[in-house]
Structure 1
Amino acid sequence: MPCQTCGDAPSPGTDTCPRCRTPYGHPGVSPGLPTYPVRGIGLAAAVAVGFAAVVYLTVALAPVLALPLAEQAAADRDADLLLGAAVLEGILSLVFFLVQIAAGVLVIIWTWRARKNTDAFPGALPSLGVGWSIAGWLVPFANLVVPARVVANIARDTLWRPTRGLVALWWSAWLLFSIGDAWIGLDDQWEYATLAENPTTAAEFTGYVDYYRGAQLRYLVPAVACVVAAVAFVVLLRRISAAQQDRLDRATAAGWPSSLYPPAGGPYPPQPVTPWSPGVAPEQAPVSPPVPPQPGGTIGA
């Protein structure tokens, strides 16, 4: 019988599929363990991650848009134009923050579901518990390593082929983006704080022009890293989601109904009740023999 998980022909001398580590004759999904759909949440997370990358590119290019305003402000000695440039950067940064939060929430939900599903996959060998699929993103210092390990385990137990290169590319680019953006942002804030709050002289206006001119390429490296990390993660996310959903669908089509995979906390399918067998006489409680009435035992006797 071919492997019910990957469909490979059985190998002689072994009871386990060498490709996906599923025992021969065992369904691709262990009955009775909860599983969760990942196609919809995976698509939502992929869209959010891609949109966040696009928004960050506009943030990185904000100095290019603000430079003409600063030059016009210096020519006209009009500080209101500088205020417009600052408002533009502030709005773009706020939009990116909100989109990043939404993408982070969706990615965490997807990671937890995908990791939880691997518990129902025979042959899966996760090295970290399910709780790390959430805590790994939130705990300081752990979030520098744990999310990559969790996703790498999910990919290995879902795709049955090497994915270390793609995971390494995604996580290296993500760390470069996160650290580079934070470092450049702090330096950017310090330099902006040295500018005159209410410029009046030509030198003070020129300071703003020089600031925006120097900031044009400042975010180039984090911007490229952001795009690379987003593309690599979306590829991983889509491949894992499609493979897991296909595995769940095949298990259902093979005769393992979805009711065998209740969500955490229920509701669970009703269990059959064994009927009473007519060939076995039901036991009856012993009955005491009647006691004859005794004289004087009743009032008025």
Structure 2
Amino acid sequence: MPTYGVRGLAVAGASAVGAATLCYLLTALFPLVGVRMARSAAEQLDRDVLLGAVLAEVLFSVPYLLALLTAGTLVVIWTWRARKNLDAFPGAVPNLSPAWAIAGWLVPLANLVVPARVLADLLRNSVWQRRQSWLVGVWWASWLVFLIGDRFVARAEQQRYDRLTELPRNDAEFATYVRFYEDALAPRLVPAVACLVAGIAFVVLVRRISAAQQDRLSRAVPVWPGQPVWPGRPGWPAPAAPMPVAPTSPQVPPTPDGTIGA
């Protein structure tokens, strides 16, 4: 069965997940910046400052979206490779096929359950320690809270923003923007904390699964001829014994009216 190295991909994927988590935390804390800009706009009665707050939040979200796209691509590839390696491990009994390692992240509704089952398969058949299965539960629960909480908070926040005066003209109307950003911080903390827990748990899972698989793959690689070894080091094959040569009779020169001697 073919096997795939996962160490380098695990490092890249874990780094991308960490970057996406950090970027999301920054976007979740943006109301702290928005409050200051809204207060400045209220003091100056300047609508352009409020527009600047909207643009600043968009700029905050761009790095998060890029990091999320990168992390998602690397995680899907890592999951598929790690799942394919299970097919080459004697004693491994995964519950889902390698196709679900990709489809599980992409199919709506299935992505709420299948990734957790795939990770549980990888952890159980790679690390061989059932007591670490709680990590999958922590990641799965926090991931669901993040997915559902982020969408719920974003929708509720958009509805509140749509009720604001589009072109504020006096102190009272500018004050509504200040209250909007003040009230936006607390709801964002719930998905932010869940995102942080999910990111840490997932990075730990990726590193442990990858380390266990890479160790098993390295112990299964033959020293010769699949892996070159320098002469004189352990594993270098001993010189082959010379092949025995069958005895032959001496050659004799040809004679007239005769044949070549054998």
Pairing partner for 1:195 from 164, 174, 188: 164
Show structure 1 runs of 4+ deviating over 3 A. 253-256
Once residues 185 and 255 of structure 1 are traced to their aligned partners in structure 2, the CA distance between those partners, rounded to angstroms, is 58
| Matched residue, 1:120 | 88
Count of residues paired in the alignment: 227
| Matched residue, 2:21 | 53
**Aligned-pair CA distance for 1:68:** 0.7
Once residues 140 and 252 of structure 1 are traced to their aligned partners in structure 2, the CA distance between those partners, rounded to angstroms, is 39
Q: What's the secondary structure of 1:216's corresponding residue?
A: helix
Deviations along 1:86-115, one digit per CA (max 9) or x if unpaired, are: 111111122212211111110000000000
- TM-score calculated relative to the size of structure 1: 0.73
Once residues 64 and 171 of structure 1 are traced to their aligned partners in structure 2, the CA distance between those partners, rounded to angstroms, is 29
Once residues 193 and 43 of structure 2 are traced to their aligned partners in structure 1, the CA distance between those partners, rounded to angstroms, is 34
Deviations along 1:132-169, one digit per CA (max 9) or x if unpaired, are: 00000011111110000001001110001013200000
Residue range with higher mean Cα deviation, 48-57 or 244-253? 244-253
Root-mean-square deviation (CA), in Å?
1.4
Pairing partner for 1:171 from 137, 140, 163: 140
| Matched residue, 1:291 | none
* AA in 2 matched with 1:135: A
The answer to whether structure 1 residue 70 and structure 2 residue 38 are counterparts is yes
The answer to whether structure 1 residue 98 and structure 2 residue 66 are counterparts is yes
Once residues 199 and 82 of structure 1 are traced to their aligned partners in structure 2, the CA distance between those partners, rounded to angstroms, is 10
Once residues 90 and 39 of structure 1 are traced to their aligned partners in structure 2, the CA distance between those partners, rounded to angstroms, is 35
- TM-score calculated relative to the size of structure 2: 0.84
Deviations along 1:54-103, one digit per CA (max 9) or x if unpaired, are: 00010000000111110011011011111111111111122212211111
CA gap 1:258/1:184 in 2 versus in 1, 3 angstroms: farther
Once residues 42 and 168 of structure 1 are traced to their aligned partners in structure 2, the CA distance between those partners, rounded to angstroms, is 20
Unaligned ranges ≥5, structure 1: 1-32, 260-301
Q: What's the secondary structure of 2:2's corresponding residue?
A: coil
| Matched residue, 2:187 | 218
Once residues 170 and 255 of structure 1 are traced to their aligned partners in structure 2, the CA distance between those partners, rounded to angstroms, is 41
| Matched residue, 2:152 | 183
The answer to whether structure 1 residue 244 and structure 2 residue 199 are counterparts is no
Pairing partner for 2:177 from 205, 208, 224: 208
Query: Where does 1:34-53 land on structure 2 (aligned, <5 Å)?
Result: 34-53=2-21
The answer to whether structure 1 residue 232 and structure 2 residue 201 are counterparts is yes
Once residues 144 and 193 of structure 1 are traced to their aligned partners in structure 2, the CA distance between those partners, rounded to angstroms, is 30
Once residues 109 and 198 of structure 2 are traced to their aligned partners in structure 1, the CA distance between those partners, rounded to angstroms, is 19
